[in-house]
Structure 1
Amino acid sequence: MFDNRPYSGTDIPDQNENDITADNKIADNILLYGVPGCGKSHKVEEEYESKITTEKNKIRVVFHPDYTYSDFVGQLLPVLKEVENAQGVKEEKLQYEFVLGPFTQILKTAYAEPDQQCLLIIEELNRGNAPAIFGEIFQLLDRNDDGKSKYSIYNRDISMALYDEPNKPIKLPSNLTIVATMNTSDQNVFTMDTAFQRRWQMKHIPNRFTGESLDEKTINHVAKHLPNSEISWGAFAQIVNQKMHTANLGFGGTEDKSLGVYFATDNDLDDAERFAEKVLKYLWDDAFKLGRKELFNDCSQGLSAVIEAYEDAKGDPLKAVLVPEVYNEMQKKMAEMAAEQAKTAEEKTSEEEAAESAAEDNPAQEPAGEE
């Protein structure tokens, strides 16, 4: 958590721009984007957050429609402060002071500790009006090759927090990285213009259900069977996504509505009610809103009937609510995934046997003993 106590103006040493060097620690503005559940936040934790071991050197915020520039940078707020009155008696009085927002707090930390890497994480960047939230800080996002801002800005409150001086220019230092995430499928959110986006290093997070790059946790998650079903989550999601892309659903950009590999958690896949309310409801209300008959076998009674049929099914609940053709495709996908898994296991065994054979043919030389 960031320190939102009023800034006193005396708790940070003077810093010159040249002091902010952070050798071999070049910072950047990085924006990870992809479909919901593809692993953006996991990527942030694994590649960035886990490498900052000091808690005060990293701050995480979440943008939303009501989030403002003042929330992000800081604002004047009423605080109770102990002061001496004319008679020399100390008493608490209400005063207005600048309270640091997360941006100013992490910037202050980065300036105070130039040899330490600092990290600002912004989740759901486009769920707030990002250009308005950044305001003039937008200018700082242009960086030189050394990671410092190319241009400076003037902001009295931030300047007082950094230097205890009101008119010194401000730049992002080379030890402050900003990492943001963005869902490409969010509809009722703010758009970001090209000028804003180009100041970020964009990184697409692929939505992978198969492949050698998957870790063991993802492999197990993909292979997990849906509640009371013979169909795995991986087979279900891949066929649904495939249907989403090939069916005429009345809108473009269907990839953005795809089910991410972690759209449903392990707990969602263990409970029929949770799965129905989270996944089936999303497919009905959003992804297949204009083409429900492409996926659901009975659309006449509405979503509640679909969920009840799924939860009350005697056999495989997917068979009770999905179009037979779609269900059959999921069964075929299960067979394909099983064959692929067997092939991968066979190749791995062959590689291990080859390695063992090579080791036997070229035994390690034992050091000669003393005579």
Structure 2
Amino acid sequence: MLSELKMVGEWFQNEPSEAWDFKEIVFDTKTKNKLSDLNQPNRTITVLDHSAKVELIGRSKNSCYIPGQYFVYALKLRPLLTLLKSYERVLIALSNEVKSKRDVIKVLSSKDRKSVAISKLDCYSQERFFEIFGNDSARLNAKEFYKDNDSHRTFSDFFSSILLAAIPVPNASSGTLADLLLSISEYEEIFLHIQKYYNDAIPWLFRTDDGDELMLRVMSTLGWDGKLDELQENEPVSWGDIADVFLLRPTPEPSNDNYISTPVHYLESCNKYVFVRKGLLGLNMFDTVSAKIAELWPGMCVRRRGGKYYVESDKRDCMKGPPITGGTNSIFYGAPGTGKSYKVHQVCSYETDKFVTVFHPDTQHSDFVGSLKPVTESGCVVYRFRAGPFTDALVHALINPDRKVTLVIEEINRASAAAVFGELFQLLDRNPDGGSTYSIRTADPDMLGYINHLLKDKGFPSLEVLRIPANLSLLATMNSSDQAVMPLDTAFKRRWRFEYLPIDFSVEGVPQIALTLATTSGEVTLTWPKFAKCINAALVECDVAEDRLLGPFFLSAKELEDQRAAMSALEGKLFIYLWDDVLRHHGHERIFSNVYKTYGALSAAFKEGKPVFSLHIEEALAKVGERADSAAESLASDSGTDQDAVD
């Protein structure tokens, strides 16, 4: 069926400017070879990486360079090109049927429907065909077909002018563009190749405010491509599980208000026009209808966002909101147990896509970024790039610019951070929007190839340089009291924000279990916060650095869930930390009884319920705790508010 050219042309004439903002494309060797099939006796095309040289061979040899996006116009204009070729085939058949150009003009001007070429058309198509030769607006005010009563323009010139009238292209090289596009439309194999590899370069094929208008365009396009020829004549015509999708009528009017008034196809098998039902893209059927369209139109999908309906490449990213900015580099530090990890993961809200890694003394740049790794494929060992956490987070942020993405680095100073980051160090400087101030050309081509492969698969342009996008944040934890730590150099630290987490036993979630501890004066019962404060006060007195003190979460709620678990955690975790890490150079007697010369002896005594603390600590515990025989009564009457007995 010949649909109305004016209607289809206006689909493209009325597009906003951003509909023609095509991505930069790069032609690979396979594509260059494929496009060489477009060479003709009067034209040769030499395809380069980003453009093509077109040489016109005639009385004079002219040439011009055209951008690679000229080829992509074939994807955007596919519906119009297909329809124009249908019109052209009828005109060619009419020309072959009559004797001269004068006869062609006579048939067209008189609207004679007796010729074989015209009589084969349905009545709606006949009207549309004659219309473009006698009505300027019907052909988008393009060139007239007739020159005079005896001659007419070449078919190529006539239809090229209609094509160019529909798109915002300046006169320079426009004839070359039209000729190229019409040629591509004749080579289905070339078109399918361009569609497969470059479909994501166009912002969208169709965009409408109304779902019915989009369905008219989609179904008309599918009809021109012969995708609706298999519809059955039986009424009502369903589409898979969707009932009453199509209406068939012998006239080009549906006579049914539930269907779009313009026919989308003509079934020659039953001589009936096909109309499509209204409201198919409503909320209840949107996903089902979209899936059916995707079956008939590989590589394309129907989407809805911002109150508009789109037909676009399924490789193009579907943003659900505006691009996210504000990425930052932040390090959270403080004494062990102050909740650094908890704070970081709290900053990462449920709206954040999170990637987590932990640095250790053997962490290397290749672990962080990725490297080639051997894999077995079809019984053979080959090497593939396996991404590290940084590359995973980077790619995810690039293909999801409307999502907050966070890379969490636990214990950042347990490795040589500057060495692990390597050349990525340069990317840590941030612009006000959160993106990298500077870029780098990565020294690892495998990494860049891996990233570009994933970006291309999602419809994003390839990268030549690396930057941290504005929606990617790096959050890290640091505990400088760890024996395995490595210092952060000044240049590295300058590129991060630092947030100190103080020791605060009043924060929510601190375990309040009562501990019963043996002293030389009898058992003392006190809560975990009071006990930890006594230990910290003693450590401060002997000039222990603040980052070696006990944070409120040094022992977890699980470790302090009952008396038995608490005693095990004190002996197996807290005491060994104090003995080996904190008191090594300050003297064990600051906290523990000088009776015990080895940790083994201390541990055994504690397990047997013997006193293990120094007299100084016992005095502090007695001040803030309760004697065991009165502890139960005292704790029952206590509202749970901790009273600091030590400064």
Contact 2:324 2:403 in 1 (8 A): no
Could you tell me which of 319, 324, 327 is aligned with 2:615?
324
**Change beyond 3 A, Cα 1:209–1:331:** farther
Matched residues in 1 for 2:559 and 2:421: separation?
A: 36
- Asked if structure 2 preserves the Cα contact closer than 8 Å seen for 1:106 and 1:118, the reply is yes
Q: TM-score, normalised by structure 2?
A: 0.43
Correspondence 1:225 to 2:514: yes
Does the 8 Å contact 2:330/2:499 carry over to 1?
Answer: yes
Equivalent residue number for residue 333 of structure 2 = 33
Structure 1 residue 255 and structure 2 residue 546: aligned?
yes
The residue type paired with residue 614 of structure 2 is V
Q: Distance in 2 between matches of 1:172 and 1:46?
A: 22
Q: How far apart are the structure 1 equivalents of 2:594 and 2:600?
A: 11
The 3 A distance-change label for structure 1 pair 204 and 238 is same
TM-score by length of 1: 0.73
Q: How does 1:3-42 map to 2 (within 5 A)?
A: 23=323, 25-42=325-342
1:104 Cα offset (Å) = 0.8
Structure 2 residues not aligned, in runs of 5+: 1-196, 202-316, 454-460, 518-523, 627-634
Residue in 2 aligned with 1:48?
348
Moved over 6 A (4+): 337-340
**What are the residue-to-residue correspondences of 1:32-111 with 2, within 5 Å?**
32-52=332-352, 57-82=353-378, 92-111=379-398
Give the distance between the partners of 1:300 and 1:175, measured in 2 at CA.
55
CA 1:227–1:266 in structure 2 vs 1: closer, same or farther (change >3 Å)? farther
Partner of 1:163: 452
CA distance in 2, matches of 1:305, 1:81: 57
Name which of 573, 579, 587 aligns with 1:284.
579
Shift of 1:127: 0.7
Residue 188 of structure 1: CA displacement? 2.5
Q: Shift of residue 227 of structure 1?
A: 4.9
CA gap 1:188/1:322 in 2 versus in 1, 3 angstroms: same
Distance 1:161 1:49 in 2: 29
* Deviation for aligned residue 1:72: 0.8
CA contact (8 A) 2:413 2:480 kept: no
Deviations 1:117-159 (A, max 9, x none): 1111110101111111100001000001010000001123333
The CA deviation string for residues 190-215 of structure 1, in whole angstroms up to 9 with x for no partner, is 111010011111111111013xxx22
Alignment of 1:325-364 (within 5 A): 325-334=616-625, 341=641
Aligned residue runs from structure 1 range 195-214, under 5 A? 195-210=491-506, 214=507
CA contact 2:555–2:569 (8 Å) conserved in 1: no
Is 1:242 the counterpart of 2:542 in the alignment?
Answer: no
Look up the SS of the partner of 1:286 in the other structure.
helix
Is the CA contact (8 Å cut-off) linking 2:385 and 2:447 kept in structure 1? no
CA deviations 1:293-339 (Å, max 9, x no partner) are 122123444222222222212xxx5xx1112332221232348x969
Alignment-derived partner of residue 274 in structure 1 = 569
Structure ID, larger Rg: 2
Tell me the number of residue pairs that the alignment of Structure 1 and Structure 2 aligns. Answer: 301
Residue 122 of structure 1 aligns with an amino acid whose one-letter code is I
Q: Which has the bigger relative contact order, CA under 8 A and spacing at least 6?
A: 1
> Aligned partner of 2:618: which letter?
Y
| SS in structure 1 of the partner of residue 526 of structure 2 | coil
Query: Tell me, which stretches of 5 or more residues in structure 1 are unaligned?
Result: 1-9, 83-91, 344-371
**Which of residues 398, 411, 415 is equivalent to 1:128?**
415
